[in-house]
Amino acid sequence: MNGYLLAIDQGTTSSRAILFTHQGKPAFVSQQEFPQHFPSDGWVEHNPYDLWNTTEHVCRDVLKQAGIQARDITAIGITNQRETTIVWDKVTGEPIYNAIVWQDRRTAEYCQELRDQGLADKVRDKTGLLIDPYFSGTKIRWILNQVEGARARAENGELLFGTVDTYLMWKMTGGKTHATDATNASRTMLYNIKTQQWDEELLKLLDIPACMLPKVLNCADDYGRTEEHFIGGQVPISGVAGDQQAALFGQACFEPGMCKSTYGTGCFMIMNTGDKPLTSDNQLLTTIGYCLDGKITYAIEGSIFMAGATVQWLRDGIKLITNAGDSLQHALKAGADQSVYLVPAFTGLGAPHWDPKARGAIVGLTRDTGIEQIVTAGLQSVCYQTRDLLEAMKADGVKELAALRVDGGMVVNDWVMQFLADILQVQVDRPLVTETTALGAAMLAALHQGIYSSLEELQSYWQCERSFKQKMDDATVSRLYKGWQKALEGVKHISAE
């Protein structure tokens, strides 16, 4: 078949559109950044219009680059920043509040109240998740409680909730589609991953009207067609998955025990655990990896809030670098064996620590410390945090990794990938196509359209571009990681709240 697959990758700092061939090769890309809003300590918001306008722009732009029209698009796949919460008017489509971003910690106190009530085990048993501000449920409750008149409007059926995928599809289809997929639903703290339904008990607990919630479909499914105003034609939307699950799919991790780690704004490590949910004893999350034809494939996940966002902070926050690429030269000068640690707990710590009151720090400064060491410490922090996740997975009894498949913007940096292989003491495989998040969405869309016949066929398209193997000696690895662990302990529970 001729034509392209259009993948929409709506992320935390930018929106992207990528045209893939039916063989899974990226052909054209368009990307546009948008502002982040930080109205209070630990609060992170997006303007929903920014999410929509940038998505619309990059989709039109990528078609213009390719010199094609909507009729040349076979299908659209959508992948998105997960947990980010939007509530909008059912008729006008106008958001009643900014999107509350997954990184946002404003509901930390309420989450602690729920834990104090002894509800952690119940929530975990139903959703696979910890009670944490990270997830959508407490964000929805906050909006309904804080925006004047919102709760009454919601109970009257006037308001809709959606994660970003749902909001975009609602806009793309002119309000005809109010749906999400099982992976995004599984990150709301409202969805029972065993019964595959919105959980009435959890909705009652958080006081959220069920009429607000989208319909939950398979990752490869019929999500309706775009209206003419979007890209000039009616194109089927047939693949949807949250960004990390889309990357798991794009990395062809179809067998239990296969694992990928994505380095975007945050870092997310997911392992396929097959058709049974694995409960972690080390504060990792049980989640839905993907859902095809009503059959769930489960996964275990560790989430780190700051990866690429740390480099962005070094660039925009304290202006130590002009662009992300400058970090490589600083790392080459400083070297990997250095004793400065940057702990990027700017919005608390994610897995396996789950400490919303932790705050960032730079540890180990001396008179000799310069820009090179601090920037290098920022890069290394991503690798150390990945090691934290791997140690938690090992403690949960998962088998030793044969290799870790990596993707995302940071993996083009060979220095970071080598240090990752060293500190993990595991082979790191970088695929030929590193845009695996978008690729996963495109694959799901193509699967529903019958372009691919099976997961085995999809597996055959995955190719390794380069493998990184441990070069650093074990003693140095141990010393560096112990230094990280000490630095980490120093930042916990230090918020001024």
Are 179 and 206 part of one and the same domain?
yes
Q: What is the pLDDT of residue 494?
A: 59
Residue 444 domain flag: no
Residue 291 domain flag: yes
Are 238 and 171 part of one and the same domain?
yes
The single residue listed with the structure tokens 């804080």 is 146
Are 57 and 180 part of one and the same domain?
yes
* DSSP string for 17-38: EEEE-TTS-EEEEEEEE---B-
d(Cα 430, Cα 471) in Å, to the nearest integer? 17
pLDDT tens for the 497 residues of the chain, in order: 568 999 999 999 899 999 999 888 899 999 999 999 999 988 999 999 999 999 999 999 999 999 999 999 999 999 999 999 999 999 999 999 999 999 898 999 999 999 999 999 999 999 999 998 989 999 999 999 999 999 999 999 999 999 999 999 999 999 999 999 999 999 999 999 999 999 999 999 999 999 999 999 999 999 999 999 999 999 999 999 999 999 999 999 998 888 999 888 888 899 998 998 888 888 898 999 999 999 999 999 998 888 888 888 889 888 888 887 788 888 888 889 999 999 999 878 888 888 878 889 999 999 989 989 999 999 999 999 999 999 988 888 887 788 999 988 889 899 999 999 999 999 999 999 888 889 999 999 999 999 998 898 888 888 899 999 999 999 999 999 999 999 998 887 655 44
Q: What is the pLDDT of residue 323?
A: 82
Q: What is the pLDDT of residue 2?
A: 66
d(Cα 106, Cα 143) in Å, to the nearest integer? 11
Are 196 and 281 part of one and the same domain?
no
The distance from CA 265 to its chain's CA centroid, rounded to whole angstroms, is: 8
Contact by Cβ (8 Å): 127, 189: yes
- Alpha-helix residue ranges (DSSP H) falling in 94-220: 108-116, 120-127, 136-146, 150-155, 164-172, 182-185, 200-206
Are 223 and 263 part of one and the same domain?
no
- How distant, in Å, are the alpha carbons of 51, 233, 245, 365, 479 from that of 240? 17, 20, 10, 45, 43
CA dihedral 312, 376, 430, 384 (to 10 degrees): -100
Q: What is the pLDDT of residue 493?
A: 62
Residue 9 domain flag: yes
Report the amino acid identity of residue 385: Q
Please give the biggest Cα pair distance in the chain.
Answer: 64
Are 228 and 273 part of one and the same domain?
no
Residue 452 domain flag: no
Structural domain for 124, as ranges: 4-243
Q: Which of 222, 210, 220 is nearest to 177 (CA)?
A: 222
Instruction: Say how many CA atoms lie within 13 Å of 157 toward its Cβ.
Output: 1
Contact by Cβ (8 Å): 39, 94: no
The distance from CA 226 to its chain's CA centroid, rounded to whole angstroms, is: 25
Would you put residue 349 in left (φ > 0), alpha (ψ -120 to 50) or beta?
beta
CA 6, 235, 228, 246 torsion: positive or negative?
A: negative
What would the two tokens of residue 416 be? 């970071």
Contact by Cβ (8 Å): 288, 245: yes
Are 276 and 232 part of one and the same domain?
no
Q: What is the pLDDT of residue 281?
A: 84
Are 67 and 132 part of one and the same domain?
yes
d(Cα 165, Cα 450) in Å, to the nearest integer? 23
Q: How many structural domains are present in the chain?
A: 2
Residue 134 domain flag: yes
Q: Which of 278, 272, 232, 279 is nearest to 254 (CA)?
A: 272
Report the amino acid identity of residue 420: L
Residue 457 domain flag: no
Residue 409 domain flag: yes
CATH number of residue 383's parent domain: 3.30.420.40
d(Cα 376, Cα 193) in Å, to the nearest integer? 40
Q: What is the pLDDT of residue 269?
A: 92
Boundary (domain end) residue, out of 220, 243, 266: 243
Residue 234 exposed, middle or buried by CB count within 10 Å (0-12, 13-18, 19+):
middle
Are 101 and 16 part of one and the same domain?
yes
Name the pTM for this structure. 0.85
Contact by Cβ (8 Å): 46, 206: no
What would the two tokens of residue 73 be? 């698009």
Are 215 and 304 part of one and the same domain?
no
Backbone angles phi, psi at 63, to 5 degrees: -70, -40
Residue 233 domain flag: yes
The single residue listed with the structure tokens 């980490």 is 488
Boundary (domain end) residue, out of 201, 219, 243: 243
Are 146 and 118 part of one and the same domain?
yes
Q: What is the pLDDT of residue 496?
A: 46
Boundary (domain end) residue, out of 197, 219, 243: 243
Are 226 and 271 part of one and the same domain?
no
